Each structure stands twice: as structure tokens, then as C-alpha cells.
Amino acid sequence: MSRSGADLALLLLGGFRSLVDAAQEELGRRGYEDVRPVHDFAIRAIAAGADSASELSRRTAVTKQAAAQTISVLQDRGYVVRQADPGDARRKRLHVTDRGFDLLREGEAIFDELREQWARRIGIERLQQLEAQLSELVGSAAVRVDAPGWVATQDFGPSAAVETTTRSGA
């Protein structure tokens, strides 16, 4: 089975989706019905130091505008707040709220549980092998936790990025 390269891709996607779908469902049961993986990852990135829209956009490889939109959703739903930056009047600093941190914790716990289920099914050694092989292939650069845009751009189209605004050049 799965000798074709396309099958390999599908397997990887299948694995990802089955984890993420299960996680999202469970998250819904635990009272976070309004979140998607992107949100989780974006909050994580903000907590990890991407505390402005521009910075978030850089780290996540989407346009500033896209980042701003995500932030505005997160703010509406109570996961982050925006505060004026005392040192730079242009910036608005992002802070993850308690609810935001709660979400991150729940998310981690759920993913860990799912991983344990997998470990029980194929054995922890084999799962670790799988992880080791994948991380060798994918490289750690791609595994940055703070990469929401990368998680789900429009139908996997080419990911644009990098300061689109002041481009104009031509």
C-alpha cells in the first residue's frame, strides 16, 4: 500500500486532519466552540512574543492585514486584548487574556491525549520513530509552533508574505 507519492501526501494530511478534527471537537465540548486551529496557533504566537500585528504577520507569514483581522477576531472573542504601547505611539501591544491561556492549556492537553491514543495503538517506540523521521524530513524550521498562516492558508495556495504594504517598487 501507499507506494505513490500522492498517497504519502494524503497520509500525512489524513494524520493531521484526524488529530485536528478530534481536537477541535473536544475543545468544543470543553466550552471553546468558537476557535479554530488558526486561532490556537495565533494565540500561541502572541504569547510567545509576537505582541503586535506586524510582528504576528511576520512570524506567521501572512500579510499584516490578515494578521490584524485574526487579532480582531481573537479580541472580539476575548482571547487577547490590545493596549497602547507607551514607548511607541504607533504600536498596540497584544496581550493574551486568562481565557486565552486557558485555551492554550486545554489545547495542549487534548493534543497530548490524542498522541497517547496513537501511542497505544502502534506503540510508543514506533510513534517516536515516526516523529523522528518526519522531523528529519520536514526540518525544525517548518515546525515552528507560531505558524498559523502556514497552517491553513486559502486552500494551500502559495503563501505570500513579508511587508506587502510598502512594496510598490514597480
Residue ranges that bind DNA, judged by CB under 7 A: 36, 38-39, 52-55, 62-66, 68-70, 73, 82, 85, 87-93, 148-149, 152-155, 157, 159-161, 163-168
Cell numbers 472573542: residue:
77
d(CA 5, CA 53): 38
CB of 98 to DNA, least distance (A): 22
170 binds its own copies (CB under 8 A): no
State which residue, 8 or 84, has the beta carbon closest to its own copies.
8
13 binds its own copies (CB under 8 A): yes
CB of 72 to its own copies, least distance (A): 16
Decide: residue 25, CB within 10 A, 0-12 exposed, 13-18 middle, 19+ buried. Answer: exposed
Positions 94 through 113 that interact with its own copies (CB under 8 A)? 107-108, 110-113
87 binds its own copies (CB under 8 A): no
Please give the C-alpha separations between residue 43 and each of 124, 133, 146, in angstroms, as whole numbers. 30, 28, 9
Positions 26 through 85 that interact with its own copies (CB under 8 A)? 36-38
Tell me which residue of 154, 156, 150 sits closest to 58, measured CA to CA.
150
135 binds its own copies (CB under 8 A): yes
163 binds its own copies (CB under 8 A): no
Total interface residues for its own copies by CB under 8 A: 63
Tell me which residue of 28, 5, 13 sits closest to 151, measured CA to CA.
13
> Which 3 state secondary structure label does DSSP give 81?
strand
